[in-house]
Every structure is written in structure tokens, then in C-alpha cells.
Amino acid sequence: MMLSIDFGMADRFGGAVVLIICQLMIGAVLLSNAQAQVDSPAALVFKELKSGSTASFRGLCVVDERTIWASGSQGTVIHSQDAGATWQKSSIKEAGEIEFRDIQAFDDKRAVVLGAGSPAQIYSTQDGGRTWELKYENRDPGVFFDAFSFFNDDHGIAFSDPLKGKIFLIETRDGGKSWEVLPARSLPVARKKEAGFAASGTCLITYGPAGIVIGLGGAPQAGESIYSRVLLSSDRGQNWKSVDTTLGRSESAGIFSLVHFGSGSMVAVGGDYLQPTATKDCVSISHDNGISWHAPRTKAVRGFRSCIAVGKLRAPAAIRKLSGSQDASGAVVLVTTGTNGTDFSVDRGETWWAGGDQGYHALMFVPGKPFGFASGGNGKMARFDVSWKK
């Protein structure tokens, strides 16, 4: 709300009236701010954890409420087996300065990390990070992996920025021990200057038995759509459909993270990382498995967001229904984070509430729970909890 006073009117009616008007208007602002706080349906609280590292962690995998893995800069991987109270660090010396922008863990012993940069590398551990083995390497300078995702303990898919005019995709069917390039006929054609963003390892997601979604960005060229698009597959990458979202795109803007939940709902978040406080084009929503998209209908997030995650929140039946929950286990809650803070939604992304000014690279709920963990720069790790207020 803006305060605007007609001082010509002040001259006509006197200073006392002006004072009353000012008091009323300031009171309205305070009431509006207070009402916004009262209307917030849930509380989001962060508790910082001491990782013992100074690496920047963009890869994060929460296996359960005690087992957390994170990967990041300078070939660093950390993991905890006690909900973040203590951390074990392992550096993959063979990887040099490659950043591990994504990690998939299956339990406290087995994990796979994805390196962003050249050479493109994937490593695997079977002993809790004590030793790592190189499982894939590609020295083509055009290959830059952005994310990977797994359907189960065996089958996973990874994607790179375009190579020779097509989105480059590889897959594993043995839990990351070996990788193969998808057949050329199955690789989607890329737009010029199109690319992914390796910000949190979540611009590629898998869901259900065979669903894949890839979010992209990059500067539009002459004659191209100005909107960022998603690539959709319902058969584990054999065939693809391209759909524009409502997010704009540029060299620094597009889709940074995706989530799928319920019976066909998806939310894409991103924006322009060079304009972190700009609120336009940061969230796009689909309720038909990605066929059509729209912007939030009521209240947007507060700026650029690099990651979004979905969890379950104990809440009244009406809220469970509004959130898109398919059962009585709880309401669907979405939490998204970025440079200038974290926001949450309980109505499938249509309305967003400020959850604090703490910003992280990535976050992930404990499966099916109202709490999870977040990772960021300079060794930053935290636990977050969402609780219903009404």
C-alpha cells in the first residue's frame, strides 16, 4: 500500500485533519501487514546444522529422517546418519575441481553423484563414501550435465545441455554402475541457445512408473517462443512432447526446478538468477500432467527460486482437499527456496506465503513427512519443519 497525501487539502482543512488522516492510513498499513501474518496458514521454521564444510552444496538427497547426503563444489560429498547432528565428509580426489550438482542415495551406504563440467563424470559408492568409482565419463566439451533422477534403485536418467542440436540423455539400469546414451531417435530436438540450469539437481524429475519432466531455459532466438518449456515423456524417454510454460526465458532465466504430486499436478519454479528479487515469471502451475500451464492465481513467491519440494502436512480435511492430497495422510505442502528466502503453499501453488528470509540452493522433504533438510553455499545445511497453525 502506498501513502499519498494531498497537501493542498491540508492547507484547506488544517493540520489536525492531516494528522488524523496520516494516523488512519498508517494504521491501515499496519493492520494489512498484521492481517497478512494472521492469514498465513502454517509456520515454516529452519534450524541450522553444522556440516563442518565450506563447500557449496547444490546436490541433496534425503533418504529418510536420519539419512541425508549432499554433494557440491571441489569434489565434496557429505552424509549424515543421525539427522544432521554429525556429518562424514569424503572428497573424490580423482574428480579434481568438478562440482557435483546432483546426488542420488539409496541408503546409508550406496550413492551416485553427477558432475557438472568437463569432463562430465558420474561416480558411485557402495561403502558410505569411503571409496568412489568412476562409472561414466564424457570428455566432449559440449556435454554439461544438469540433473539426474531415478524411478527406482535401478533405473535412472540424466540429462545434459544440448549436444549437436539435441538434448543429450543417458540412462542406467543397474543403479548407476553403468550408463548408456539413449538412442538418437529418442533424443528431443533442442531450440537454439536452449539449456538447463544445474542449480539444485531438480530441473529433471521422474514420477510414477514411467513419467519424466525436463525443465529448460536459455535466450530465445528469432522466431522462437519467449517462454521456457518442459519436455514430457510418459514412457521413460522413448517419446517426448514439448509444452511451453508461463515462465519467461533468457540466458539467466528459465525453469530451475520441478515437482510432481497428486493426480497430475506439477509446479515449475525459477526466474532470473541475476534478478533475484524480481517476482514475475517465478512459478508456473499445471494440473493436467504438464499439458497446460498458468501463473499463480493469487499470491506469488518473493523472487527467484532454485528448488521446490513437496511434503505432507497434518491439516483439516478441507485443506487436504484444497492441497490436492489423495488420501487422509495429510495435506500436500510445497516449499520453494532461492537467493532471497523461502516460501510455501498449501493450495497446489496458487498462493504462496513467506516462510523466512533464509535462502538455500536445494531442499527436500523426508518422504511423506512435514519436515526435511536444506543445503546451500559455504557448507550451509539446515533442517526445516512445517506445522499447521489453525
The answer to whether the beta carbons of residues 269 and 213 sit under 8 Å apart is no
Res 239: pLDDT: 97
* CA 19 – CA 280 distance, rounded (Å): 37
The CATH code for residues 47-388 is 2.130.10.10
Half-sphere exposure of 226 (CA within 13 A, CB side): 2
* CA 217 – CA 272 distance, rounded (Å): 10
Res 328: pLDDT: 64
Peptide bond into 119 cis (omega under 30): yes
Q: How many CB atoms lie within 10 A of CB 290?
A: 23
* CA 75 – CA 58 distance, rounded (Å): 12
The residue type found at 327 is D
The answer to whether the beta carbons of residues 115 and 95 sit under 8 Å apart is yes
pLDDT, tens digit (0-9, with 9 covering 90-100), for 270-316: 999 999 999 999 999 999 999 999 999 999 999 999 999 999 988 77
**Torsional sign, CA 313, 319, 322, 325:** positive
Bridge partners for 205 per DSSP: 213
Res 147: pLDDT: 98
Helix (H), strand (E) counts: the chain = 3, 27
Taking the CA atoms of residue 292, residue 293, residue 297 and residue 300 in that order, the dihedral angle to the nearest 10 degrees is: 170
276 backbone dihedrals φ, ψ, rounded to 5°: -65, -20
* CA 149 – CA 147 distance, rounded (Å): 7
pLDDT averaged over every residue in the chain: 89
Res 325: pLDDT: 73
pLDDT, tens digit (0-9, with 9 covering 90-100), for 310-341: 999 887 787 777 777 767 667 899 999 999 99
Q: Which residues of the chain have pLDDT under 50?
A: 1-38
Res 390: pLDDT: 65
- Compute the chain's Rg from CA coordinates: 22
